[in-house]
Amino acid sequence: MNSIAIKMINRMSMVALSLLGFFLCAANVAAMDNFKSLEQPNILFILVDDLRTELPVYGKDHIVAPNIDRLAKESVVFQNAYVNVPVCGASRASMMTGIRPTESRFVGYQARIDEDAPNAIPLFSLLKDNGYFTQSIGKVMHFPDDSKDGWSVATWHPRLALARGKGTGHRNYQLEENIRLFKKNRKGPAYESADVPDNAYYDGQITDYAIEALEQFKNAEQPFFLTVGFLKPHLPFNAPKRYWDLYDPAKLALSDNPFLAKGLPKQANHNWGEMRKYVGVPKSPELMPDELALKLMHGYYAGVSYIDAQVGKVMDALRTKGLDKNTIVVFAGDHGFFLGEHGFWAKHSPFDLATHTPLMVKLPGNKVRGNTDGLVEFVDIYSTLVDLLGIEPPAQLQGSSFAALLHDLQAPGKQAVYPRWQKGEVIKTEKYAMTEWYGNKGGVQARMLYDHSNDRAENNNLANDPAHKKTVDALHQKLKTMMENR
């Protein structure tokens, strides 16, 4: 082939690529314009406690979750979304303020916005001030009265509806033997399978109440921000028997890495104290027996499928009432959970399994759907929603909008995200995850470095490998810069 022909082919290829880029860009612009042409959209925010990325949409087909899967097919699914702190109260407070946690702010499960960041404007308060009817059902903030003036009506939680001293608190046991056991010594088993209807447990009641709320919104002229917080699969792993029956115990498999990571610093070890509070769980430092481990896994999976059914009911109500055509849907966990990996049975850790959690966003009328690998963190959710709504963001926001990823799955995500736990600070990039533990005088006491391109399970700590010194130094500088500016 002569040089003139080659030049012509190259020129034609360039034109073809340019046209392809033009059409892709035009499609994304059209999707954005289609969304902006809608009237002020509602927001349905579904939040699930202790939810791992162990779902079909994340490649885990052994989990029965057809309703979450259906929602995923209508959404942009974030394959690399990270919470900023792996414990419920602090994670939710950070997410709802768009403010990063520190060693003294948004630390534990009892974190409150109105105490840790009293001058912050929570997302729900900002939306209320901008004409939205804001409502919280179930577990959204850890304390229902946290920043309560930001809600248009008082938070509803089924536990609050019980007379004082009635029931078994958040454990919500249904079997008489478990209720008696709990009332005798304030402890009960870590799981329960009761042959009861969905709304015998709290999450079924939360679903019923959410559907009633959607019925009221059907003819409302005011846009709504409805948050629905489900409790399971949080401990104890209680779910109606029908969801346990979805799984064959003989087919359940223990974690393939029940050992501590190679080179693990002592700061990263875990006693999983939350789990050890339950009857039948061995006391520290004993390991979890295999038989009990399989039963707990079964209970966790049943809890996920139970919540999947509740999500399906809420989404069906949104659709049948015609509200889906003008409602943004956000579905998220509040952090992950260990099911025996590294020998752990909890969250409360800087490891990937504790900080990596599901996030998906469904925009009405958006034709862009599917998986995006772009890195995002939960401190970005607030920024993204106000960006989509065209509302002026408050100065407190420390995240950034990922709206571009909702209209282009290949758009770049963040270069790094920053979870933390206690004295451990994490930087997660596309390839690496590094944790540094700091002493009282600010010096680094210990490190973990994992190469996620070949060790996503985080089994081999590379932090002390001389071959990775340049990587450690570069990540350290980025991490310190973030810490100085939060």
Residues 398 and 438 sit within 8 Å (Cβ to Cβ): no
SS3 of residue 177 by DSSP: helix
DSSP letters spanning 251-267: G----S--SPPBT--GG
Query: CA 302, CA 291: separation in Å to the nearest integer?
Result: 17
290-320 and 66-73 helices cross at what angle (nearest 10)? 50
Catalytic site residue from 25, 62, 142, 157: 142
Beta-sheet strands, E only, within 33-157: 42-48, 76-78, 81-82, 133-138
Residues 399 and 439 sit within 8 Å (Cβ to Cβ): no
Cα 119 to chain centroid distance, Å, stands at: 25
Catalytic site residue from 88, 335, 356, 407: 88
Query: CA 86, CA 344: separation in Å to the nearest integer?
Result: 14
- Is 356 a known active-site residue? no
Residues 402 and 410 sit within 8 Å (Cβ to Cβ): no
As beta bridge partners, residue 229 has: 47, 138
SS3 of residue 17 by DSSP: helix
Nearest to 210 by CA among 314, 324, 67, 362: 314
- Is 468 a known active-site residue? no
Q: CA angle, corner 33, sides to 28 and 35, nearest 5?
A: 100
Residues 211 and 317 sit within 8 Å (Cβ to Cβ): yes
In sequence order, the 6+-apart residues with CB closer than 8 A to the CB of 391 are 126, 127, 130
Query: CA 102, CA 81: separation in Å to the nearest integer?
Result: 19
As beta bridge partners, residue 48 has: 230, 333
| Residue 41 preceded by cis peptide, ω within 30 | no
Query: How, if at all, do strands 76-78 and 359-362 pair?
Result: antiparallel
Query: CA 304, CA 298: separation in Å to the nearest integer?
Result: 10
Nearest to 63 by CA among 304, 391, 315, 317: 304
Residues taking part in catalysis: 88, 142
